[in-house]
Amino acid sequence: MEKIVSLCKRRGFVFPASEIYGGIAGFWDYGPMGVELVNNLKSLWWRRIVQEQDNIYGIDGAIIQNPKLWEASGHIAGFTDPLVDCKNCGARHRADHLAGTDSSDISELTELLREKACPTCGKKELTAPRKYNMMMKTWVGPVEDNSSVAYLRPETAGPIFTNFKNVVDSMHPKLPFGIAQTGKAFRNEIAPRDFIFRVRELEQMEMQYFIAPSIQNESYEAWRQFSWDFLVNDLGLQERNLKWHEHEENERAHYAAAAHDVYFNYPQGFKELWGTHDRTDFDLKGHMEASGVDLTYRDEETKESFIPYVIESSVGVGRMLLAVLTDAYREDELGGETRTYLALSPKIAPVKAMVSPLLKNKPELVEKAKEVRNELRKVHPAIAWDDNGNIGKRYRRQDEIGTPFCITIDFDTLEDGTVTLRHRDSGEQERLSVEEVSERLRRALA
Ligand code: ATP
């Protein structure tokens, strides 16, 4: 983990939020490379789940909603994690993490923690576990009293359910259909940790698929498969770094009838990356009761009205980024020196290729290199320029941000139009025409 954190800092992927003031636990900023990589992950997900589907609609809901939404969804009462305090040193811990279990059952945790010492001070003075609500509170308007309390959304799903009727009335979809969105969510985590794995401001990519109850199982299986396929085929993650985790009853969220997570092999071990949940009619039913608005769906063929079931696919952008970085991180020896590189799939790499003139003080080389860069930008805009330091150093910098190709323009280029194409993973170089390089790039990004 330390190596990944340090690479992220060194190469502009992730910085601690408000670092010059000492940072703030659970909040991180994405730097120039991080934001590119994250945007690539999000747009690939959006493409697969919204643009390439005929029956999935995107929305972008507000972060702050009427608090009644979170009452009806059960979050105000039930969005809790179990917590213990140390009476000696005041440290707070996640009771389930301390007990080494996935269970959130308070009596089970009490039993498991009976003889446990505080990991901070070593004293056996922990309080009994209790439930702690993770909703982040704020106030809307100039008066800070109970009537103006609002919450930052703890998941993006909320506004999807409250827009169910709007999407039905505006787009007239037939069941099954989905609503998807990406966006920030906030959780007052007791112990943010493991870099960007467990944070208090997170970004989610969620899709709720509304179905007739009769296809509950097949739809659940299909969306489970979708998550696995996306990670392996689109992001290029190694299957040995993935495994399934099925939630036991005592682990499931308050809304879920069944839940399967894809676990990824993070530096701290196999942990949840992407969840598929069978939410039955919990959400629409709850919102229908609380709002008094009819959220049933009428099947025009059978003339039946019913509350659709929901299969949810939910993944954190930060956890996906950390998985991608962990999976791609490599160290090897090249030309007698150790090097670090990110074996990122070209489709998600923040920079697709770097173009560089062999010498920066030779105007004819610089001019030709700019011409080549402009040519490659017709294939993809993310083509970097680097003329700093020697060529070896330029390659190493690109290796560390996962740039799949480096193109060097030298005096031979002026003679015969060929350039050097260097491949990131093998370090191998070949001589090709600019058209051939364009074609390689196009193929790698397809
Ligand atoms: P965990 O058990 O790890 O706290 P969760 O089961 O509460 O996660 P969900 O409510 O299912 O998570 O949220 C869906 C997805 O959002 C998760 O699979 C994860 O990728 C992401 N996520 C949830 N909480 C966080 C967090 N605090 N920091 C970063 N990502 C998160």
Residue 253 has pLDDT above 80, yes or no: no
- Centre of ligand 1 to C-alpha 197, Å, is 9
| Protein residue closest via CA to atom 7 of ligand 1 | 253
Q: Is residue 333 part of a domain?
A: no
DSSP state of 198: B
Integer CA distances (angstroms), 386 to 9, 351, 421, in order? 20, 12, 15
- Centre of ligand 1 to C-alpha 53, Å, is 25
140 and 33 within one domain = yes
Position in ligand 1 atom list of the atom nearest CA 320: 20
pLDDT, residue 221, reads 97
388 and 299 within one domain = no
pLDDT, residue 265, reads 98
| Protein residue closest via CA to atom 18 of ligand 1 | 274
Q: Which of 98-107, 251-260, 341-350 has the lowest mean pLDDT?
A: 251-260
Convert the pLDDT of each residue in 30-74 to its tens digit: 999 999 999 999 999 999 999 999 999 999 999 999 999 999 999
| Protein residue closest via CA to atom 30 of ligand 1 | 316
CA-based Rg of the chain, rounded to a whole angstrom?
A: 25
Residue 368 near residue 409 (C-beta atoms within 8 A): yes
The reply to whether ligand 1 has any atom less than 6 angstroms from the CB of 164 is no
Would you mind telling me the total number of residues written for the chain in this entry?
446
Residue 376 has pLDDT above 90, yes or no: yes
- Mean pLDDT, the chain, rounded, equals 95
**Tokens found for residue 315:** 């993944």
Residue 342 has pLDDT above 80, yes or no: yes
The reply to whether ligand 1 has any atom less than 6 angstroms from the CB of 376 is no
The reply to whether ligand 1 has any atom less than 6 angstroms from the CB of 272 is yes
Which has more confidence, 142 or 207? 207
What is the CATH number for 124?
3.30.40.230
pLDDT, residue 294, reads 97
Residue 274 has pLDDT above 80, yes or no: yes
127 and 270 within one domain = no
Instruction: Say what the pTM is.
Output: 0.94
202 and 67 within one domain = yes
Convert the pLDDT of each residue in 299-319 to its tens digit: 989 999 999 999 999 999 999
The total domain count for the chain is 3
58 and 105 within one domain = no
297 and 251 within one domain = yes
223 and 297 within one domain = yes
The reply to whether ligand 1 has any atom less than 6 angstroms from the CB of 75 is no
Strand 56-58 and strand 28-30: the pairing is unpaired
100 and 216 within one domain = no
What is the CATH number for 355?
3.40.50.800
pLDDT, residue 27, reads 98
Position in ligand 1 atom list of the atom nearest CA 275: 18
The reply to whether ligand 1 has any atom less than 6 angstroms from the CB of 323 is no
The reply to whether ligand 1 has any atom less than 6 angstroms from the CB of 154 is no
150 and 103 within one domain = no
pLDDT, residue 147, reads 86
Q: Is residue 345 part of a domain?
A: no
Which residues form the domain of 373?
351-445
Q: Is residue 90 part of a domain?
A: yes
- Centre of ligand 1 to C-alpha 241, Å, is 18
- Centre of ligand 1 to C-alpha 314, Å, is 8
| Protein residue closest via CA to atom 10 of ligand 1 | 155
Rounded to the nearest 10 degrees, how much is the dihedral formed by the CA atoms of 45, 46, 51, 54? Answer: 80
- Centre of ligand 1 to C-alpha 270, Å, is 14
Q: Is residue 330 part of a domain?
A: no
Convert the pLDDT of each residue in 71-117 to its tens digit: 999 999 989 889 999 999 999 999 999 999 988 889 999 999 999 99
Q: What is the DSSP secondary-structure string of 126-154?
A: BPPPEEEE-PEEEE-SS--SGGGEEEE-S
The reply to whether ligand 1 has any atom less than 6 angstroms from the CB of 314 is yes
